[in-house]
Amino acid sequence: MAFSFRGETYELEASIDLDPYIGEAGEEPNFPLLLAKASGIDPYSYLYEVLESHEIEFSEATGIAARCCHDGAFDWPRFLRDVREESDLRVARLIAERALGVPDLDGRADLKAALLAAYRAGKAAGPE
């Protein structure tokens, strides 16, 4: 992100680990604040207000985030869905391998769907 303030040009970039923001609430992180902190900008300054008024451009995403980053924009709701899907799949694969002796769950779409449905139903029911 590049912008000018008081005759000075600022070019900010930061690498942000999204894992801490995935929690139960699933609220989108305050990306301008994270960028400001990573760049040493006081969030109570005029410089921060200028930073907030500009669009943040997302690039060089890795892992699951790479699927959610397009044309400089980041799709947070999709990221959360994809992260949860990967987490559910990890559990289903583990069950398939350990309990059923199925090493490749992707090759068994019917079993994959059944395990995911059962796992999600259990999660939705919560603890008793």
Question: Can you tell me the distance from the alpha carbon of 60 to that of 38, in angstroms, rounded to the nearest whole number?
Answer: 17
Question: 21 and 34 in contact (C-beta within 8 Å)?
Answer: no
Looking at residue 49, its pLDDT comes to 94
Question: Can you tell me the distance from the alpha carbon of 107 to that of 90, in angstroms, rounded to the nearest whole number?
Answer: 15
Helix axes 76-100, 109-125, angle to 10 degrees: 110
Long-range CB contacts (within 8 A, 24+) of 23-27: 26/80
- Per-residue tokens: 127: 């603890």
Cross-strand bridge partners of residue 10: 3
Cα 116 → chain centroid? 21
Contact residues for 56 (Cβ-Cβ < 8 A; gap 6+): 1, 31, 32, 35
Looking at residue 24, its pLDDT comes to 63
- Asked if pLDDT for residue 99 goes beyond 70, the answer is yes
Question: 40 and 1 in contact (C-beta within 8 Å)?
Answer: no
What confidence tier does 67 reach under pLDDT thresholds 50, 70, 90?
A: very high
Looking at residue 126, its pLDDT comes to 78
